[in-house]
Structure formats: structure tokens, C-alpha cells
Structure 1
């Protein structure tokens, strides 16, 4: 398992080792122990540019996921799972709004992004949204004490 974590913004609030431990536990649980993952922590300005460029959506978002393969096509398996991009600006706002700690919010967004890489999609149907929400809760409980 190879995990690459990059910061495009200054943040003294994230402990890289805690993030790595959470990601290792999540990927292992999901059966992705032999996959590679890239995570970029950035700001609202950069994630808004990516959101517009790749999804045609205006403004910042909390997390973007870029899978390296079609999760519904089992004939091609890349060692690289994909890229997850998280806006720490948006994460900080969501943390305040939700009452979660900043670390909890970041872990929730990491889980959300990884599930998107694996083909979960909360926008396709209510049933898929419920399924994704249940899996997010299960994984959140798995890493809550790290």
C-alpha cells in the first residue's frame, strides 16, 4: 500500500501520521491494501478551479475524487486507486457548522472521497445515497479513535 499525501496550503492543524494511519486502516478494511492512493490538501481557490475544469461546476467543494479506473469495469485494475482532493478551507467551515472536530471532518471527507473512487455515488439515487452513508458511518467508526 502506497499513500502519497501532499499539501498545497499551509496547515499546522493536520497531523500527517494520524491521516496515514486512518487511510491505511480504511484501505485495508475495503480490501485495497495493494492499491496506491494520492491525497492533496488544498484551499478553496484551487479546488474551485478543479471543480470547474473537471465537473463543470462553479465554486469550491469539500472533496473531489478522481478514480484511475472505471469502478464498474472489473476487466481493468490499476494499482493506483486514484486521487482525492480536499479543501481545508471548506473542511474548516464544515467542522464549525457540524460541531465535529477538524480531524473528524477531514477523516469524513477522506472516507467520502475514497468511496467515490470505489464507485459509490450519492447523486445517482436515494438508495445509493443511503448505502454510501451507511458505509461512511461504518468506516468513520473504524477510525474514530486514531
Structure 2
């Protein structure tokens, strides 16, 4: 299940995010939508990087607890950046948010494009096709 916390004034149809969340995990995923300043503060506090970014992931450490419905973790999306990118690439904001949500959720599931052998990228491509989304985040960054 998706637990949405929208700290912005931007409204959008988030039904695709519910579908993606259920497809990826039976555990709850918290989605926080924030702005440049909010994500910059989180990036500095938790990653010692003093800049805004598009998406951050914070996995929940279950400490070996078995049973119950412990959340998978939190995905934080910078809506200002998502809106700018969606306008530049001429696709709907919902699609950009879905791409970022998939990227962040895969991190919660243990995928790491900075360390793996392309598994994160391949899983993103698979999900882009399943949910009829535009080019993945990693694919776009590889083209730069």
C-alpha cells in the first residue's frame, strides 16, 4: 500500500503509484512529495550533499523482525524538479513522478545502480514497459 504525504500544493492523479507499489511489494511504501529546499535539507542531513536532487530513498531497517506489516521504507520526490523535467521532456507530471517512484522504490528493495551490474537499470526498463512509461531515469542519465 502507498502512504502519500504531499507537502506541496501540486495535485495529480496518483493511481498509477498505487499500482506500482502493489506490484513491487506487499509492504507499505511511504511517498513524500517535497520541494527543492525540503529535499536539499534531507540530502545534506543524510548524505552530506548540499544540493537538491530529484529522489531519495530511506529503507526501513526491520532489525530482523519477522511478521507484521512493517513498511518497506520512504521515497522522497522533489516535485519542483519532477515538474521541470516533465515539461522539458514533454511528458505528463504523473509519468515523471512514477519514474522517480520506481527508481526510489527499487533502491528500497536493494537495487543500487552505482554498485550493481546493471540489474537496477534492467528492472527499471521492465517496469517502464509494464506501466507504459517514458525512458527510465538511469537511461536518461546514461545519455548525458
Backbone CA RMSD of aligned residues: 2.3
Q: 2:106 touches 2:120 (CA, 8 Å); kept in 1?
A: no
Distance 1:125-1:36 versus aligned 2 partners, 3 A rule: closer
| TM-score after normalising by structure 2 | 0.77
1:106 maps to which of 72, 94, 97: 97
Deviation of 1:82 after TM superposition, in Å, equals 0.6
In 1, distance between residues paired with 2:127 and 2:61? 21
Give structure 1 stretches of 5+ with no counterpart: none
Distance 1:138-1:79 versus aligned 2 partners, 3 A rule: farther
The 3-state SS of whatever aligns with 1:141 is coil
More divergent stretch after superposition (42-51 vs 127-136): 127-136
Matches within 5 A, 1:112-123: 112-123=103-114
Q: For this pair of structures, how many residues does the alignment match?
A: 131
Q: 1:29: which partner in 2?
A: 23
Give structure 2 stretches of 5+ with no counterpart: 134-144
Deviation of 1:97 after TM superposition, in Å, equals 2.2
